[in-house]
A and B are shown apart, each in its own frame.
Chain A
Amino acid sequence: MSPPADLAVVIPVWNDAEGLARLLEQISRISAISQVVVVDDASERPADPETMGWSAERLGADLVFARNAQQRGAGYARNRGLAKVTANRVLFFDSDDRFTPEFAHLMAELPREGFDFCLFAHADSRVAGAGGWGPLPGDERLWERAGILGALNEMPDAARPELIQLSAYPWNKVYRTDFLRETGTRCTEIMVHNDIELHWLSFLRAGHILVSDRVAAVHVVDQHGSRLTNRSGAERLEMFRALEPVARAVAQAGPDYTLPFARFAMALFHWAGAQIAPELHAAFATRIRAFLAEALTPEAFARIADADPDLARRINARLAWRDAAEAA
């Protein structure tokens, strides 16, 4: 007989009642899920599972619903949902993402305790749309470099500096709830990039990480939709509220994480630069310069220059940037 279900799924939702309905339908067929916490981030039409016809009985899991009076972003919604979790394990999932059949197998094997979180593989809808099955190429390379193989194993210490650089999260980790609560690890309450802090500090604070190469979820991205990932406004500049505590933790964690964090941050700046509206580019470049100057000690920069001269060159270019007024 299988042990009783013991997993909460926290779902922030914003103007996606249709996606939430699809996800709840799927959850109702997954016996490992014991609690569903939906936090509606002030959708124009409330996405309340009960008014959509869902009950705990139909779902096969406890159902908790909360609604933010005003839009606060997925980070706030996730933190609010986490506070309501009663299960020993928790997964943050998005309303438009999907589980694969591998998820049930993963949960059947995952222990209830004795670990801090379990990272599992995922497929990205853009890769699936092109006939593949896996994450975006950059994350795929990190998985390959980490040498992860097998349905469920301890994450080797050497794999941590690789996998901490993954760009896709947080729906690919099952956390031990008390790990998050005891370490105070949570999302940044900003409109975008809210999960950077959750991801990086989880890796840096966890003592015992499990990893699975099971593709247990599909991350669905609508590149032309209105979801927060596609935002291009000033809210993007709030990313530094997430990056600054991570930079401090990386500095304390030792040299193994200097280069991974520099690579991650520079890739994020590059990606976000393409998202941000042109009128914000100068403000963004100013914030990047200040962040790098604060985060990188001369010793850290020397390590980066030694290991990856091209990255060091690009960091230098960011540090040397001057806006029109400064240049004059």
Chain B
Amino acid sequence: MSDPSFAASGAALSPLATTQSLLQSLRDGDLSGEILPEQEILPGLRFVPDPEAGMRGRYASPAGRLLELEVTHAAPARWFGLHLRLDLDELSNLALIGLAARFAARQALPVRPCIRSGTETGFVDSFFDKTIAALPRPLLHLDVIETQGPHPALAAPAPWRELVLFLPTGDFRLDLHDLRVFAA
């Protein structure tokens, strides 16, 4: 399996090449394990739970798919995020960032995607317009966000960016069959 190390990623690669490589590694592999807060399951991919919510969970990555998640919270959570590093620090030559995702769940569950841009003091979140609905019948969700639109954080250079998928904050079982991120 290739090592999609962000530290080693070349600036000469096309936008999101390292991110695509990471997602392909997940598709090709058969990882599984306990979800540990802030711990990367592959370089550039990690879960960020509310530290006060007592999250417990497991993930599995079956062949050809990205993630199957089973999560419980001991207390009401304020957030639970799946963070994917994007090699998209410089957006001046790009008009939009898009995502295509296919989720499934036993009952309807919402997932809110955003682009998180690092700043000197922290980060700024730029949310996609549409909330993803994970349903028993897997559906393809497609959305784009304009870099020159109503999100000033995307117009400025940023030391790092992530795609954050805000997952349900209750107990849930959720499958992410596929995720594609693109920029143009």
Interface residues of A (CB under 8 A from B): 101-102, 105, 108-109, 134, 140, 143-144, 147, 149-152, 213
Contacts and interface: CB of A to CB of B under 8 A. Distances in A.
B180 interface: no
Given A149-B106, A149-B175, A151-B60, 11 more contacts: A105-B63, A108-B63, A109-B30, A134-B137, A140-B137, A149-B68, A149-B136, A151-B68, A152-B62, A213-B104, A213-B175
Nearest to B139: A133
Contacts of B64: 101-102, 105
B65 A149 contact: no
22 contacts: A105-B63, A109-B30, A109-B62, A134-B137, A140-B137, A143-B136, A144-B136, A149-B68, A149-B105, A149-B106, A149-B136, A149-B173, A149-B175, A150-B68, A150-B175, A151-B62, A151-B63, A151-B68, A152-B62, A213-B104, A213-B138, A213-B175
Contact of A147 (B62, B106, B137, B138): B106
Interface in B23-39: 30
B137 A144 contact: yes
B65 to A, nearest CB: 6
Q: Top 6 closest A-B pairs, CB basis?
A: A151-B62, A105-B64, A105-B63, A144-B136, A147-B106, A108-B63
Interface string B135-156: 0111000000000000000000
Contacts of A102: 64
Contacts of A213: 104, 138, 175
Contact of B63 (A109, A144, A147): A109
Contacts of A151: 60, 62-63, 65, 68
Interface residues of B, number: 15
B49 to A, nearest CB: 21
A190 B173 CA distance: 43
Contacts of B104: 149, 213
A126 to B, nearest CB: 16
Contacts of B105: 149
Interface string B154-169: 0000000000000000
Contacts of B63: 105, 108-109, 151
A121 to B, nearest CB: 10
A101 B177 CA distance: 14
Residue from B65, B136, B175 with most neighbouring chain A CB atoms (10 Å): B136
A108 B64 CA distance: 10
Nearest to B174: A149
B137 A105 contact: no
A10 B65 CA distance: 28
Interface string B50-72: 00000000001011110010000
Contacts of A134: 137
A117 B60 CA distance: 23
A109 B68 CA distance: 15
Contacts of A144: 136-137
Residue from B64, B65, B104 with most neighbouring chain A CB atoms (10 Å): B64
